[in-house]
Structure 1
């Protein structure tokens, strides 16, 4: 069976100095000092990997919502928000991440919003990439969405 996978875009960035260093994208648009989070003893005025991950995931998930709405013949309210909280935790000797996505579509009822969030979670590249590797909690306006078996575990469909 022939693969239909095709690379659409590749982003490149280089880090020097780890969590207390600097990161720069190949385009130069990202050019930031990095630090351990301030609450863990890091310095003010610098970002950290978790903050960058949260920014990327929230943006990507919102795009997945736009695609989901378009496919259903709907249009999202321009004020739609996706808040992503990424937590760093320690478990034994290792470290891990978890994420919470809290969606406010503004203009749809709760049932429709939940369905759209579930559909977006199926196609969002961040959701697909973390599925089975990272706990992701989905919320609508602060309330958890009960996940069905397989929605947050295992590998992406078709793999």
Structure 2
């Protein structure tokens, strides 16, 4: 079973080490680290970025910038893929915790709708994401338990370790 370990990032030490700019406005937060890896998914993007291609274990998709961002909209985009993954993960988490709460029947009828918004954030340059989730067919107790158990929810609300390197 996953047991989150935490470490604290201190904003003051980050600010002291970095020049003053929009990226130095980092708040203190806990980050989830993994004790034991159970599964690893991999994906590769290539081509023209948001107008290129992405593949993962036999799933090959052509990407296209949405019309709202100046593209053709003739393909998938990262926000759609994130919304799909999040909705499936949260539904699975709801169903997993439903057994403990004695609400398995209720969880069978759950429908999870996830909207992922991309736009310009107030705090930093570049783009940011916002997520809206609506779950039908369950009560708030089951929703909150599933949300607390879901790795996507945890990553967004509690943080995750992200390592970025060159190959």
TM-score, with structure 1 as normaliser: 0.71
Q: CA-to-partner distance for each residue in 1:99-146, whole Å, 9 max, x for gaps?
A: 0110002xx5xxxx111111111110000011156xxxxxxxxxxxxx
Partner of 1:115: 141
Runs of 4+ in 1 over 4 A off after TM superposition: none
Partner of 1:151: none
Determine if the alignment matches structure 1 residue 93 to structure 2 residue 119. Answer: no
Partner of 2:77: 48
RMSD: 2.0
Q: Which has a greater percent of helix?
A: 2
Aligned residues, how many?
Answer: 124
Structure 1: 5+ residue runs without aligned partners?
Answer: 134-154
Judged with a 3 Å threshold, the aligned counterparts in structure 2 of structure 1 residues 73 and 44 are, in CA distance, closer, same or farther, namely same
Structure 2: 5+ residue runs without aligned partners?
Answer: 6-33, 161-167
Q: CA deviation at 1:45?
A: 3.1
TM-score, with structure 2 as normaliser: 0.68
Q: CA deviation at 1:68?
A: 1.6
Higher relative contact order, structure no. (Cα contacts within 8 Å, ≥ 6 residues apart): 2
For residues 102 and 44 of structure 2, the distance between their equivalents in structure 1, rounded to whole angstroms, comes to 40
Partner of 1:74: 103
